[in-house]
Chain A
Amino acid sequence: MNAFEPWMMLVVSLLIFGIGLFGLIVRKNLLVMLMCVELMLNGVNLSFVAFSKMHQSIEGHLAVLFVMTVAAAESAVGLGLVIALFRTLRTVDSDQIQMLRD
């Protein structure tokens, strides 16, 4: 293990993905949950680039560009939804959003 190899990057990307998934499950603050989604998307991006390096191809970089576009659109719409929710319910706690239950 004297030189950098792409599988090491895969391990890091999976760790980041797992941390993001765990945060998405345990946190209740909608803003932090959105941040965890960003973490998961970033982990997947890293694995795309690592596979691209591993297979000596350029396609993974293109996938990363498209994922970045989707992530930007997702966070814009998601934060718009959070603002709309906060206006009506005065909270960003996902446990407090239970109007269908009442």
Chain B
Amino acid sequence: MKHRPVLDVSELPTYAFGARSPMWWGTLGFCVLEGTGFALAVGAYLYLAFLNPQWPLSASPPDLIWASLLTAVLLVSVIPNYLAKKYAEAEDLPKTQIYLIVVLVLGLAAIGLRFLEFDRLHVKWDQNAYGSSLWALLGLHMAHIITDVADTAVLLVLMFTRHAHGKRFSDVGDNAFYWNFVVLSWLPIYALLYWGPRL
């Protein structure tokens, strides 16, 4: 078929931030499907909680201290995460590097706190269905923290190489988006596992 040019696209930009970028939509897609996974795991926990006359089953709920510290760390991390994204969009490399380091350190602290907590839970996964669903939710969320911390680490290293320009700044924005999802998805789990049994 013969062509009749009606539109010139040669002057269009080659990348953009936020919802204009396909990667943003891809990240959103994965957040939605993983969020569905969280919702269903929470659903399973609630289902078992309603089914059993006593819940938690023969164990006290996990101590507040470690998870509350972790929640605080995650909430604080949102600020440097926002700044990393903001400076990435301004393509300010030194500031982007600094805030990525802060996010990474806070992420590593969150992983450390989680491991400390694992040793101090009052129930094991193979003790009863309460233990199983508690460990499943904590494990599922920890997998997300580790994934994004690893992603942040790789991105940070990249930002110190010759590749640190252009589209990589857009990657920082998408990484920040995913980290917000990791933080946000923790809050209902925290309320459910730690405050639910104390109501």
The answer on A and B forming one complex is: no
